[in-house]
Structure 1
């Protein structure tokens, strides 16, 4: 069946049963308001065909039977029916019901009435088939808009209908078919105008935001607590990150306990919570109200504390007890100076802290040895007990408990009421077995490494002698201000302690130079590092010179208010030079405290300063020496041969290679008379930073000033007597020296000597 369509209503070529499918209403293109009754079968089909043919929006469709094979080429793409494009149901999608939208921008050419069967025109570039070859004189729409849901849109640009159809060549017929390739990629333009692709936004790389949390915590861990608190004000995320518990496993307020408010400190402690291992609140008196109001909150948050210090804080009794009960893993407890700590707290520690190793209850006025006895019995790992100024050390029962336990390595009992009997119980026990050959008690040796008995005024030689042969591992012994001790008991102890490295007998008036001479002969002389003999007015150069010569590793000597003189300072400087020279900057190797010593003069201080900035002279190298040999010719006339150069040739114009800077390895740091101390400090700073030339200039200028000052007030027989004493001291020192200097310096006197005379101009003082 072939039929043509135009703007006018045409009768169907196949009427049936005398019913005409055309009607006057359909010829005008309008739909009547009253719908006819529904038809069935063939009548319904004919009526639908008549309606479609009368639509004015469609162009005429003509088809010739002879050109049917060319209108529908085989192998072509599927086409979209023009009936479906012109249907009123698609009007909302295209937005214009009277227009003929086409995909690809093809122009529709309406058929001319009266020319049915005309073949369609084909365009070489068109990829659709033409259904009508007629041309219309009226302009038709050039593009077909896509449905709204299929329209592409660019970011930031409004969508336009028919954008994809612009720029294509226009065909001669209206009906088109949409290729599948265009349906799959609606944003691509095949022919004509190029569609500008939307700009791709640049990806911003957030270095800190994309970093793992573990690395952030590791980086923030290098900051100080003050810097971490400042970083917490950046943002909410940084605030949450800076108060993470991983950063506060070690809370030590030693450096900022005066500056941090109580609220911030409480936030740090509570945010750390179970991460806190070390909690040092030394001096944090601002937490007094927080402990009273929120003590339970702090204790509930921190349940894994290992090292705990409350020295110098203000805390109530109940808060201390509650915190100790909530932390059974405590190994180090420092409660120094707390009046709220009593024997009840000691009982709680004994019951709930089995891992306790270090306990410091010094100056706790409400604690005595009754509370400490419970800790000694229960805490088997206790190795360090510091109980200065604690009452009850005269109790022999407590001393016996310590003897039975024998786990302490450090015991500090300074300023206590310790007696000779208690000290015997502590070292030998009660009724020990006595060896008949040696007349010594047979007991296991004590494990003490550090023993502090300073200002125990009731301890005498009888009690101290019990330490002999019973403390072989002792490294530190402090006997300061024990006025009843003498050389006999102390010498017996130091002879049997080969590991002794720190020894203090400050303000023990009965000791003499014999103690220092025996100390220099004891096995511990090779390990001695610190010696304190201040306010021992009987000690002088006789003993100290032996100590300086026999103790090569000594690092600190405090001998203020003694009888030592410039000879001790010279010997100390000589020993410091023997420690060698190198290319590294010097370090403090020996610290001397000699203020209030009447026999120390400015000449001895000058000797120390000159020794600190002295460097050995470079020796000539054998590679630069020129050897001249004498030769004899055949005629018997001797002559000079060509100089022989052993290794490297010497050019007359070339300069020798620069020698590396040489510095002393160790220097002497001096604390002397306050009028000279400022000059000594400036000189030491210049030496430590490697400016030896500036230090030498300061040394010479200060010596000139001191000589001018001394000579201005010296006259008559007094000056001759001072010069005579100086010569005698120099002679005694040169005779006493047993060996020459390692760097060929020779004997050095306190007033210049052979080397210093050449450096300072050969001037004589006094």
Structure 2
């Protein structure tokens, strides 16, 4: 619980009491009470829902659930949770993150799309059960969708992009990283229907070729960000074409695209004056290069490398050095690292030690899973003690999931 939520919750307990008969509950208009509740986070709203019938109604009002991120609350949720959230929130919901929710599938996402037609931002990163069926549902019901993250949804194909092109024409950001079934035909369909696309992430889409970039050049003049890391079929021909049509480019990643030469750099200089210089700090690109050029790497310390993400570890763990030689990885104080990194590191069969101090998004459950897969591994991590929630009626209080599983 953040400071603001904690402060507001304390205020609510003191002022409103826990009785439906409290005078202030009767005198203040519902609109004002809902405004107060709107500042609370998801977990705090769950706690408030237990206090009384009046608070239950206020806490679970759909207007309080416009933005939901379940990653830090309950990552291993089932599909019925998503369905019940969608029924509770309805048209109020604007942003939903199901990042890492491995059990969520197409059936629950269809129910979600039918109920939450005003959704604008949807994160399905790592939802590996998702297929083209989900994108068909989004296309049919969610025409206001602007940001969609399908990272590692490996069953997604060109059919998804054709559907999004037909029904989600307001799309501005799409992440298709590691969706390796995507080809130029899918990008062609997407570009024709989503001309306002501003950011496109295609890391690991190894089937893409120069033809895909030519379609973007013709149809997506608003493009400012494109990441084609490890798109190994891309050559100067495609990149030069892209530069000539997308003059607003600011961020471009072609790490691992070994066919790029000075010709592409010249085209960038001539056609993309807004392009930002690369950051000198250590990023995932560093790990990609290490995985390619350092096959004998045995120990790696990334302590305090705050830009390293799960994608960088993925590249490292799938390389020759990762699978055959790597014995030590130090990731302490890497705030973007999550349990997904531990899933990637399972393929590092010689791994002996991982340092995870102050990696706030790594959980005990994730550590337990990698220990089950690599029983000899030593994992060093620290979990700050959880602050006890305020007591109700003088006793202890458990975390309520009523708003999620009703």
- 1:355/1:476 CA distance change after superposition, 3 Å: farther
- 1:446/1:248 CA distance change after superposition, 3 Å: same
The match for 2:112 is 298
Cα displacement (A) at 1:473: 0.8
Contact 2:76 2:101 in 1 (8 A): no
Residues 1:254 and 2:71 aligned together = yes
CA–CA distance in structure 2, aligned partners of residues 506 and 384 of structure 1: 22
RMSD (CA atoms): 3.1
Cα displacement (A) at 1:234: 2.8
Structure 2: gaps of 5 or more residues: 1-20, 295-304, 308-406
Q: How does 1:389-408 map to 2 (within 5 A)?
A: 389-395=204-210, 397-405=211-219, 406-408=221-223
Contact 2:45 2:59 in 1 (8 A): yes
Contact 1:451 1:476 in 2 (8 A): no
| SS of structure 2 residue aligned to 1:271 | helix
Residues 1:232 and 2:46 aligned together = no
Q: Which of 42, 60, 73 pairs up with 1:243?
A: 60
Contact 2:138 2:164 in 1 (8 A): no
Residues 1:462 and 2:277 aligned together = no
CA–CA distance in structure 2, aligned partners of residues 230 and 261 of structure 1: 21
- 1:256/1:473 CA distance change after superposition, 3 Å: same
Q: Which of 247, 264, 275 pairs up with 1:474?
A: 275
- 1:295/1:306 CA distance change after superposition, 3 Å: closer
The match for 1:447 is 248
The match for 1:409 is 224
The match for 2:181 is 366
Residues 1:273 and 2:90 aligned together = yes
The match for 2:103 is 286
Structure having the larger proportion of residues in helix = 2
| SS of structure 2 residue aligned to 1:287 | coil
Q: Which of 236, 240, 249 pairs up with 1:424?
A: 240
Contact 1:420 1:464 in 2 (8 A): no
- 1:338/1:261 CA distance change after superposition, 3 Å: closer
The match for 2:28 is 211
CA–CA distance in structure 2, aligned partners of residues 216 and 508 of structure 1: 51
- 1:557/1:331 CA distance change after superposition, 3 Å: closer
Cα displacement (A) at 1:333: 1.0
- 1:373/1:329 CA distance change after superposition, 3 Å: same
Cα displacement (A) at 1:502: 7.9
CA–CA distance in structure 2, aligned partners of residues 304 and 388 of structure 1: 29
| SS of structure 2 residue aligned to 1:285 | coil
CA deviation map 1:255-278 (0-9, x unaligned): 213276655553222200111111
CA–CA distance in structure 1, aligned partners of residues 197 and 111 of structure 2: 29
CA deviation map 1:625-671 (0-9, x unaligned): xxxxxxxxxxxxxxxxxxxxxxxxxxxxxxxxxxxxxxxxxxxxxxx
Q: Which of 167, 183, 199 pairs up with 1:384?
A: 199
- 1:259/1:234 CA distance change after superposition, 3 Å: farther
- 1:251/1:402 CA distance change after superposition, 3 Å: same
CA–CA distance in structure 2, aligned partners of residues 275 and 369 of structure 1: 36
CA–CA distance in structure 2, aligned partners of residues 338 and 257 of structure 1: 20
CA–CA distance in structure 1, aligned partners of residues 190 and 264 of structure 2: 26
Contact 2:143 2:168 in 1 (8 A): yes
- 1:424/1:339 CA distance change after superposition, 3 Å: same
The match for 1:308 is 122
Contact 1:387 1:413 in 2 (8 A): yes
CA–CA distance in structure 2, aligned partners of residues 210 and 264 of structure 1: 35
TM-score by structure 2 length?
0.60
Residues 1:355 and 2:149 aligned together = no
| SS of structure 2 residue aligned to 1:214 | helix
CA–CA distance in structure 2, aligned partners of residues 470 and 503 of structure 1: 28
CA–CA distance in structure 2, aligned partners of residues 326 and 382 of structure 1: 20
- 1:298/1:366 CA distance change after superposition, 3 Å: same
CA deviation map 1:209-228 (0-9, x unaligned): 33211122112122221121
Look at both structures and tell me which one has the larger radius of gyration over its CA atoms. 1
Q: Which of 159, 163, 186 pairs up with 1:344?
A: 159
Contact 2:158 2:185 in 1 (8 A): yes
Structure of greater relative contact order (alpha carbons < 8 Å, 6+ residues apart): 2
Cα displacement (A) at 1:295: 4.5
CA–CA distance in structure 1, aligned partners of residues 306 and 48 of structure 2: 46
Contact 1:305 1:329 in 2 (8 A): yes
CA–CA distance in structure 2, aligned partners of residues 318 and 557 of structure 1: 36
- 1:360/1:266 CA distance change after superposition, 3 Å: same
CA deviation map 1:117-159 (0-9, x unaligned): xxxxxxxxxxxxxxxxxxxxxxxxxxxxxxxxxxxxxxxxxxx
CA–CA distance in structure 1, aligned partners of residues 57 and 144 of structure 2: 28
- 1:503/1:407 CA distance change after superposition, 3 Å: farther
The match for 2:145 is 330
Number of matched residues?
271
CA–CA distance in structure 2, aligned partners of residues 427 and 421 of structure 1: 10
CA deviation map 1:530-580 (0-9, x unaligned): xxxx99xxxxxxxxxxxxxxxxxxxx999xxxxxxxxxxxxxxxxxxxxxx
CA–CA distance in structure 2, aligned partners of residues 507 and 361 of structure 1: 20
CA–CA distance in structure 1, aligned partners of residues 135 and 217 of structure 2: 30
